[in-house]
Amino acid sequence: MEDDSLTISRLRSEYSTGDRTPEQTVETVFDRIRADETNAWITVRDREAVLADAEALDAPADQPLYGVPFAVKDNIDVAGLPTTAACPAYAYEPEASATVVEKLLDAGALLIGKTNMDQFATGLVGTRSPYGVCRNVHNPAYISGGSSAGSAVAVARDHVAFALGTDTAGSGRVPAACNGIVGLKPTRGTVSTDGVVPACASLDCVSVFTDACSEALRVESVIAGFDSADPYSRRLAADTQFDPPTQDPDAVTVGLPETTGLEFFGDTEAERMFDRVCETVTAGFGESVRVDFDPFVETAELLYGGPWLAERLEAIETFVETHADAMNPIVERIVTEGRRYTAIDTFRALHELERLKRASARVFDDIDVLVTPTVGTIYTIEEVREQPMERNADLGYYTDYVNLLDLSAVAVPVGQYDDGPGFGVTVLGEAGDDPLVAAVGEQLRSMAATETATPATSTD
């Protein structure tokens, strides 16, 4: 069967040669969604409306995402479509779209609809939604990961070329790993969160799911930029570039966690896959250094064991007070834990975070990037139902610290479990290193794919 993957680069090439039209792409997208039984979507736009958008597009040369279909997580506002945050009682219809959505539409991208998620972006599992559990695209018995579950599944199922998620504790990286795609978490404040339902407003990021790191950077180049409507927005340096740098692997020093800091929760298969990644790093890059992972683990413990839970509550406090019975009970339990933190607790945690920022910065003094598992294990849907809080916490071991420490990150697929789900690693850099982590991530992904293919080739 001929490959018909909807990647940005492929679509741009076929549009330029006349081998495809945006209208044909729209028909393909809707046919795939209709034929695919999935819980990836909450709201899908009317086919005729999207076709009308396609017909109204300007010339391809004037629009960097001309005719590229995309989706957004349903905590991101789109004018004329309900925003539910996966809670029907919370739903409202915004008059204006989020800044990121407006930028994508201006760039010629075609919005298909809004995707499923863990309610109020509280969860890394993809199971906490009244719109249905999102299932892993490689084995439906397993979780998809979350909270940006539907966005990841829509890309992995090739419904759209890219999708936006959000990332506070790993929501833009965990589902990428579970489903074998790329998840880019830009530097905090690089992409506006105006028009995004907050989880923790001081930490939230809009993330990008795609098939390749270069394509994620292409999307970031469109949506990045200062936005006065977002109080956490940062001004980019005048020379900021989002093209993947030509990075000589021999010039890159890669940090790997000391083995005492690694945690796989008894999953020997995941441990073996990461061991292979470490071997790949050692052989493929200039230098690999084992680093102290304790500051990162200690920071992760602050996110759900500290006053940032109060920030989650603050974001939806009025709704919780009046509609708690309409919430997913696990989400309601987590969010209302925020009530127990005092101002003294908050300042104590902020002081501790500053200490940990210094400690983690010293780690980056000696390395260019840090490579870790994205998740240390994966669970079935039934396993998560049995222990929803504990197993969700396990999934955040390598992700919860990233936004607290103001790091850039990209999750890339590097393997696959025998049962099907994807296994990935995350390449982490300091703030502003988005192009660097993407370049190293793509190189590491390519190296891992080559090594995986070599034994199979030799036995044919």
Q: Which residues are catalytic?
A: 73, 147, 171
Looking up tokens 């049962």 gives 419
Q: How many residues does the chain have?
A: 460
C-alpha–C-alpha distance, residues 73 and 115, integer Å: 5
Whole-angstrom Cα Rg for the chain: 21
Residue 79 is which amino acid? A
C-alpha–C-alpha distance, residues 354 and 405, integer Å: 9
Show the tokens assigned to 168: 């506070």
- Element holding 425 (H helix, E strand): strand 422-430
- 410 closest CA partner among 372, 377, 363: 372
Show the tokens assigned to 370: 């840090």
Helix and strand numbers (H, E) in the chain are: 16, 11
| Residue 389 to residues 128, 262, 288, 340, 449, Cα–Cα distance (Å) | 11, 21, 35, 18, 34
CA 318 to chain centre: 28
**DSSP letter for each residue of 251-282:** G-EEEEE-GGG---TT-HHHHHHHHHHHHHHH
